[in-house]
Structure 1
Amino acid sequence: MVSVDTAHRTAERAVRTRLTELQRLTGLPVVFGGAVPGGSREGRFAITAQVGTISDALSGLVIRRGRGLGGTALERGVPCRVDDYAAARAITHDYDTMVAEEKLTSIFAFPVRVEGEVRSVLYGAVRSGDPIGDRTLRQASLVASQLQADLRRPADLPPDGPVGPAGPADDGARRALVELADIIAATSDDRLRERLARIHREFSGASAALEAPGDTAAAEKLTRRETDVLRLVAVGASNVEIADQLTLSVQTVKAYLRSAMRKLKVRNRTAAVHVGRAAGLF
């Protein structure tokens, strides 16, 4: 049997390796994170890996459940993002001094869940003052999925060196779907968008057709769980991945999506995300 300490050290090594991949894929100047000992029920974790930092302010920093951006992600189990950390009202500001020392502005915290428990939190940040876009968050979700696979099979990880990819063929397909979704969102040609959306649906099993805006005012009627599901849809998660992240059945995820779409007066998940984003839900 693998000891708790050994498992945690293995998890920290996987986090360090995946952070390098996160920076390479997203181009973010700063990425950092840590493994959560004992899962999210532990209520805290330490930042043990950083790439691109300019000080020791974040090194070993203990993040507690519900505190700051990472603590909020740990508590809720869904990705959290702020465009202006210093001015953000949705989080506490326990760690402002450390963030200011690193000169960070826009930051996201991405929790990685295994069997219903948050086992790691990955961060990405910029110093430019520009917001981190949805495309970057979708790319981060790919790395989070790879780390999730690493943490599910710690016995397969080598004692040293980089962790291998979760599955190059599958990862390549996911990257292609992310690229296709970006093209669909960007094109102004309605006929082309409809054709591309149909291709996206066929390959992803999800409805990606774009439609007229729904009811943004109705976003206030969404429950917390419906909002959490839409947050994960927004970063490209499948129903199975959402179910795993939120410790729900796939059928329950689908039920939340149907309810959210009905409230927002839209007919597909992509449109629901557009309305939710327009309403300021994420």
Structure 2
Amino acid sequence: MSESRGSIHCNLIEEQDEGDCRGPDVPYTVFKDSVKRGKGLCQEPFKLVSGCLAGICLVLLIVLLVTNTHTGKGSSAQQSEAEMQKSCPNVTALTIDLQMQMKAKGELEKEVSVLKGRIARLEAASAPAPVPTKSPCAEDWKFFNGSCYFISGSRRSWDDSEEYCQNNGGHLAIILTPEEQTFIWDLLPRGHWNAYWFGISDEKVEEDWHWVDGTKLVGGFWEEGEPNNHFNEDCGYMIKTDVLTRVAIKSWYDAPCHMYLPWICEKLASS
């Protein structure tokens, strides 16, 4: 009976394990069976951990994809903003540079203007002097408005002075306009009482003044209070003194015709 039980037990063990049957040792059978069950239990946690790790990796992959997507969009926006911020200083720098260029241009234009002026002056200085045109008047005679005028350096009476002028193709000066009077007066030198005969007299009729060509005087450039015929003064003369307040258009006086004074001749300019 005991052997039969042992055989049955051995057969049961063989079905479970293809090892040697060592007899009806229950403890061994229990231990071995426990080991097999332990192996099954140990394999289950590894499978669970592997599955968890795979899930975590999948989640991490999705998170990374989403993060990269947002990061890419953010990078583009940040890049655009950075470019805008960078372009603003560029515009400011260009504006400042343009202003500096305009200022430099203005300074250069001023320098060019100054240089042009200097060049013009140098050209004028180096240009040959114009060839003087031949005067229509003889030597020592001055030209004005179609006539030639001579200022004597010697003295004669009024009649002798007229004779000298006639001998030189003219007559004592006939003065009709303020411009002519001023021109002649400017030719005279200043002095204490520099007096010069010109071509007017009232020898024929007192206070009826005529020019040497026979025309009657109209107006004139008399000093105030002149003519006064103080000492039988029948001939006209003009003065130019050291008094600077005297003017050309108030410089005529009358005097005795026999006095010796310098004179002023006039004749037509040669054509």
Shorter-chain TM-score: what band?
under 0.3
Q: TM-score, normalised by structure 1?
A: 0.20
Higher RCO (CA 8 Å, separation ≥ 6 residues)? 2
